[in-house]
Amino acid sequence: MVMFWVSLLAISILLYVLLDGVDLGVGLLFGLASGEARRGAMQSAVAPIWDGNETWLVVTAVILWGAFPLVYANLLSAFYLPLIVMLLGLILRGVAFEFRHKTQRLRWIWDLSFAGGSLIATFIQGMTVGALVEGLPFTNGEYSGGAVGWLTPFAVLCGIGLCLGYALLGACWLAKKCDGEVRDVAHRQIPVLAVGVLVFLVLVFAYALAEHLPILHRWIDRPYLFVFPAIGAAAASVLALSILRHNDHWPFYMVALIFVSAFGTLALSFWPYMIPFVITIDEAASPQSSLAFMFWGCGVVVFPLMLLYTVISYTVFRGKVGAASGYGHH
């Protein structure tokens, strides 16, 4: 039962990163783009999916609370300020999607909210993962780092890294979904961002070696972990090829594969810990009576339906977004 809920949690987090990563990335690039036509097309490329994507964040939160309350309580309270800022960032950009077209004069406010909210949310997500990898300060099973215990150079580096990563994912999505100028700009951005992500990965690895991060020991203990970076490297090669050939679709799938391999690497390096080297999966799990209740009421039927629905909604929205179809069609 614990394994079932760990799997659902992993699927939810991965789906959140992949799906919301796309529209957060488009939000980041939106801040760089100028001109109403380009901005409109960029929003059209994510308009029908962003809200559903964010659902997976809420799903992640409730699975954590119901199935692993110890982790939910510790993580959310340790990352108090960044988490609340991230939520407000997500709210702002979400509302910006809706209100942008209700006004002409004040549109710049919502454009700023959209790009700014995306930037804040992405940076904080990357920083959180970085702080977890480096190890949060805990004393007797309780977080003891104070208000900014998570703020380290490494965490900031990871925040910047995720911004590059999501922007890359977003650029690949725009190349896949759009035509004309937006697609051409995306094709120019993809190699730059891909190199940026590569440099970031090298820096992270160098830092981990230099600082002797405890997570590195897992790699020596578990050589099979190298399968994931190998998949990532293979995907990166195909990505380079597809960039050279100006393919519209392959870059997206390859970058998504790189994200999956990065996620797999992290998850298996953490295993069996949920908060590295402090709380394990078994320690964090809810009592059997809670897990079973959720299994029958939510996990076994409703969750697969949610996955199915996500697949259907993406299938409906397949193909290129027409150049003329602005988000609000006026």
Partner 1 sequence: MDMTALLLSRIQFAFTITFHIIFPSFSIGLAAWLTVLEALSLATGRPVYRVIFEFWLKIFGVAFGLGVVSGIVMAFQFGTNWSVHAKMAGPIQGPLLMFETFWAFMLEASFFGVLIFGRSRVPPWFYLFSTAMVALGTSISAFWIMVNNSWMQVPSGYVLENGLFVPNDWTKIIFNSVVWSRFPHMLLAAYLTGAFCVAATGAWYMLRKVYHAEARIMLRMGLGLAAVLMPVQLLFGHLTGEYVNTYQPSKMAAIEGRWNDEKPGSEVLFAWPDVEHRRNLFAITLPPPFGSLIDSDSFTAAETGLNSIPPENWPPVVIPFFTFRIMVGCGLAMLGLAWFGTYLSYRHRLAYNRPMLWLTFFSFPLPFIAIITGWFTAEVGRQPWVVFGVLRTADAMTPFLTTREATISLVMFCAIYAFIFLFGTFYIYRLIRTGPARKPFEIPHLAVPNRPMSLADEELVPEPSHADAGE
Closest CB 92 distance from partner 1, rounded Å: 7
Instruction: Tell me the C-alpha distance between 4 and 316, whole Å.
Output: 30
Q: Which is nearer to partner 1, 167 or 284 (CB)?
A: 284
**315 lines the binding site for partner 1 (CB under 8 A):** no
Q: Which is nearer to partner 1, 118 or 286 (CB)?
A: 286
Q: Which is nearer to partner 1, 50 or 259 (CB)?
A: 50
**327 lines the binding site for partner 1 (CB under 8 A):** yes
* Residue 289, CB-side half-sphere exposure with 13 Å CA sphere: 0
Taking CB under 8 A as the criterion, the residue among 7, 32, 36, 77 binding partner 1 is: 77
**Which region, left, alpha or beta, applies to residue 179 given φ > 0 means left and ψ of -120 to 50 means alpha?**
beta
Closest CB 294 distance from partner 1, rounded Å: 5
Instruction: Tell me the C-alpha distance between 115 and 118, whole Å.
Output: 5
Taking CB under 8 A as the criterion, the residue among 36, 302, 314, 320 binding partner 1 is: 302
To which residue do tokens 């999956």 refer? Answer: 260
The CA angle 300-264-115, to the nearest 5 degrees, is: 90
DSSP 253-281: HHHHHHHHHHHHHHHHHHTTEEETTTEEH
Residues in 28-67 that interact with partner 1 by CB under 8 A: 44, 47-52, 54-55, 57-59, 61-67
**11 lines the binding site for partner 1 (CB under 8 A):** no
Would you call 143 helix, strand, or coil by DSSP? strand
**90 lines the binding site for partner 1 (CB under 8 A):** yes
Residues in 255-284 that interact with partner 1 by CB under 8 A: none
Q: Residue 165 corresponds to which tokens in the numbers above?
A: 């990563």
Instruction: Tell me the C-alpha distance between 122 and 17, whole Å.
Output: 10
**289 lines the binding site for partner 1 (CB under 8 A):** yes
Taking CB under 8 A as the criterion, the residue among 1, 18, 83, 203 binding partner 1 is: 83
Residue type, 183: R
Residues in 130-189 that interact with partner 1 by CB under 8 A: 142-144, 146-147
Nearest to 114 by CA among 50, 55, 174: 50
In the chain, what's the furthest Cα-to-Cα distance? 60
Residues that bind partner 1 (CB under 8 A): 44, 47-52, 54-55, 57-59, 61-67, 69-70, 72-77, 80-81, 83-85, 87-88, 90-92, 94-95, 97-99, 101-102, 142-144, 146-147, 286-287, 289-290, 293-294, 297-298, 302-303, 305-306, 309, 313, 317, 325, 327-330
